[in-house]
Structure 1
Amino acid sequence: MDSKYLFSENPQTVATALNKLIAEDRTSVAKKNARIGQRYYEYKHDILDNRIFYIDDNDKLQEDLYASNVKIPHAFFTEQVDQKVQYLLSNPVELKVEDEAFQKLLDEYYDEDFQLFLQESLEGASKKGFEYAYARTNQDDRLCFQVSDSIQTFSIYDDKLQDQRVIRYYDKDITRDGKNVIVTAAEVWDDKQVMFFITDKNKRFELDDMRDPNPRPHVIAKDEAGKVYERSMNTVPFYRLSNNKNERTDLEPIKALIDDYDLMACFLSNNLQDFSEAIYVVRGYPGDDLSKLRQNIKAKKTVGTDADGGVDVQTVNIPTEARKTKLEIDKDAIYKFGMAFDSTQIGDGNITNVVIKSRYALLDMKANKAEVRLRAMLKWINEMIVADINRRFNKKYNAKDIEINIVRETMVNEKDIVDIEKVEADTRQVVIETILSVAPRLGDEEVLKLICEQFDLDWEEIQLSLEEQEFSSGLQEDTDPIEGDENAAAGQVEQGTGTAI
Structure 2
Amino acid sequence: MFLTETDLINLRLTIGSKLNDSEIVEALLRDDILSPQKQLMKEGEKYYVCEHDVLQKDFKKTIISEGENEYEDTTRGRRVPFVNPNRSNHHNVNPFHKILVDQKASYLIGREPTISIIGAEKDSGKKAYEGLLSEFADEGFNELLSDWVIGTSNKGFECVHVYYDEAGEFRYNIAPANEIIPIYDSVHETDLQEVVRYYDITVFKGKEKYLRKRVEWWTKTEVTYYTEIDNHRFIKDMERPYNPAPHWWDITKLNGFEKRREKHSWGRVPFIILRNNSKATTDLQAIKGLIDAYDLLSSEGTNNFLDLVELYWVIQGYGGETANAIAERLRINRAVHVNDSAGKVEAKQVSLPVEGRIAYLEMLRRDIYHFGQGIDTDSEKFGNAPSGVSLKFRYTLLDLKANALSAKLKKAIKELLWFYTDHCNRLSGTDYSVSDIQLSINKTMITNDLETVQMIAVSKGIVSDKTLLSKHPFVDDVNAELIELEQQEEQNIKKYAEYQNLGDGGEE
TM-score, normalising length from structure 1? 0.74
Measure, in 2, the Cα distance between the counterparts of 1:56 and 1:76: 33
Aligned residues: 411
Distance change >3 Å, CA 456–CA 184, structure 1 → 2: closer
> Which of 318, 323, 332 lines up with 2:357 in the alignment?
323
Q: Does the 8 Å CA contact 2:111/2:442 hold for their aligned counterparts?
A: yes
Q: State whether structure 2 residue 470 is matched by structure 1 residue 404.
A: no
Return 5+ residue gaps in structure 2 as ranges.
Answer: 1-5, 68-79, 121-125, 333-339, 463-508
Which is worse superposed, 61-70 or 125-134? 61-70
Q: CA deviation at 1:158?
A: 5.7
- CA RMSD for the aligned pairs? 3.4
Q: State whether structure 2 residue 311 is matched by structure 1 residue 275.
A: no
Q: How does 1:346-361 map to 2 (within 5 A)?
A: 346-347=380-381, 349-361=384-396
Distance change >3 Å, CA 190–CA 455, structure 1 → 2: closer
Q: CA deviation at 1:62?
A: 1.3
> Which of 81, 87, 100 lines up with 1:80 in the alignment?
100
- 3-state secondary structure, aligned to 2:104: helix
Measure, in 1, the Cα distance between the counterparts of 2:19 and 2:402: 45
Q: How does 1:454-473 map to 2 (within 5 A)?
A: none
Higher relative contact order (CA 8 A, sep 6+): 2
Q: CA deviation at 1:142?
A: 4.2
Measure, in 1, the Cα distance between the counterparts of 2:48 and 2:391: 27
- 3-state secondary structure, aligned to 1:170: strand
- CA offsets, 1:147-191, max 9 Å, x none? 111111111246455672211111110234664221111111101
Q: How does 1:141-160 map to 2 (within 5 A)?
A: 141-157=168-184, 159-160=186-187
Measure, in 2, the Cα distance between the counterparts of 1:318 and 1:415: 49
Q: Does the 8 Å CA contact 1:6/1:17 hold for their aligned counterparts?
A: yes
- 3-state secondary structure, aligned to 1:202: helix
Q: CA deviation at 1:139?
A: 4.9
Tell me which residue corresponds to 2:214. 185
- 3-state secondary structure, aligned to 1:166: strand
Tell me which residue corresponds to 1:339. 373
Tell me which residue corresponds to 2:146. 119
Measure, in 2, the Cα distance between the counterparts of 1:198 and 1:281: 72
Q: CA deviation at 1:385?
A: 2.0
Q: State whether structure 2 residue 248 is matched by structure 1 residue 216.
A: no
Q: How does 1:62-77 map to 2 (within 5 A)?
A: 62-77=82-97
> Which of 3, 11, 24 lines up with 2:8 in the alignment?
3
Q: Does the 8 Å CA contact 1:109/1:144 hold for their aligned counterparts?
A: no
Q: CA deviation at 1:226?
A: 2.1
- CA offsets, 1:283-309, max 9 Å, x none? 68988xxxxx9xxx9xxx99xxxx999
Distance change >3 Å, CA 282–CA 240, structure 1 → 2: farther
Letter in 2 for 1:186: V
Measure, in 2, the Cα distance between the counterparts of 1:281 and 1:49: 37
Tell me which residue corresponds to 1:480. none
Q: Does the 8 Å CA contact 2:48/2:154 hold for their aligned counterparts?
A: yes
Q: Does the 8 Å CA contact 2:192/2:269 hold for their aligned counterparts?
A: no
Q: Does the 8 Å CA contact 2:152/2:276 hold for their aligned counterparts?
A: yes
Q: Does the 8 Å CA contact 1:80/1:338 hold for their aligned counterparts?
A: yes
Letter in 1 for 2:92: I
Measure, in 2, the Cα distance between the counterparts of 1:403 and 1:352: 31
Q: Give the share of equivalent positions with the same residue, in percent.
A: 28
Q: Does the 8 Å CA contact 2:291/2:368 hold for their aligned counterparts?
A: yes
Q: State whether structure 2 residue 176 is matched by structure 1 residue 169.
A: no
Distance change >3 Å, CA 312–CA 376, structure 1 → 2: same
- 3-state secondary structure, aligned to 1:92: coil
Tell me which residue corresponds to 1:46. 53
Letter in 2 for 1:42: V
Q: Does the 8 Å CA contact 1:134/1:148 hold for their aligned counterparts?
A: yes
Q: Does the 8 Å CA contact 2:195/2:271 hold for their aligned counterparts?
A: yes
Tell me which residue corresponds to 1:363. 398
Q: State whether structure 2 residue 114 is matched by structure 1 residue 109.
A: no
Tell me which residue corresponds to 1:225. 257
- 3-state secondary structure, aligned to 1:66: coil
Which is worse superposed, 340-349 or 329-338? 340-349
Letter in 2 for 1:61: P
Measure, in 2, the Cα distance between the counterparts of 1:325 and 1:406: 39
Q: CA deviation at 1:89?
A: 0.7
Measure, in 2, the Cα distance between the counterparts of 1:204 and 1:313: 72
- CA offsets, 1:42-76, max 9 Å, x none? 01111111123346796642122321122011011
Measure, in 2, the Cα distance between the counterparts of 1:411 and 1:275: 43
Tell me which residue corresponds to 1:438. none
Q: CA deviation at 1:267?
A: 1.4
Tell me which residue corresponds to 1:263. 296
The structure with the greater share of residues assigned to strand is 2
Measure, in 1, the Cα distance between the counterparts of 2:26 and 2:460: 72
Measure, in 1, the Cα distance between the counterparts of 2:223 and 2:317: 81
Tell me which residue corresponds to 2:429. 394
Distance change >3 Å, CA 344–CA 57, structure 1 → 2: closer
Letter in 2 for 1:386: T
Return 5+ residue gaps in structure 1 as ranges.
Answer: 288-292, 426-453, 458-501
Q: Does the 8 Å CA contact 1:114/1:145 hold for their aligned counterparts?
A: no
Q: State whether structure 2 residue 285 is matched by structure 1 residue 252.
A: yes
Measure, in 1, the Cα distance between the counterparts of 2:364 and 2:413: 37
Distance change >3 Å, CA 265–CA 229, structure 1 → 2: same
Q: Does the 8 Å CA contact 1:51/1:63 hold for their aligned counterparts?
A: no
Measure, in 2, the Cα distance between the counterparts of 1:230 and 1:329: 61
Distance change >3 Å, CA 31–CA 310, structure 1 → 2: farther
Q: How does 1:394-433 map to 2 (within 5 A)?
A: 394-414=429-449
Measure, in 2, the Cα distance between the counterparts of 1:210 and 1:71: 49
Letter in 2 for 1:92: E
Measure, in 2, the Cα distance between the counterparts of 1:332 and 1:386: 46
Tell me which residue corresponds to 1:28. 35
Distance change >3 Å, CA 148–CA 274, structure 1 → 2: same
The structure with the greater share of residues assigned to helix is 1
Q: Does the 8 Å CA contact 1:11/1:207 hold for their aligned counterparts?
A: no
Q: CA deviation at 1:30?
A: 0.4
Q: CA deviation at 1:15?
A: 2.5
Measure, in 2, the Cα distance between the counterparts of 1:163 and 1:154: 11
Q: Does the 8 Å CA contact 1:194/1:216 hold for their aligned counterparts?
A: yes
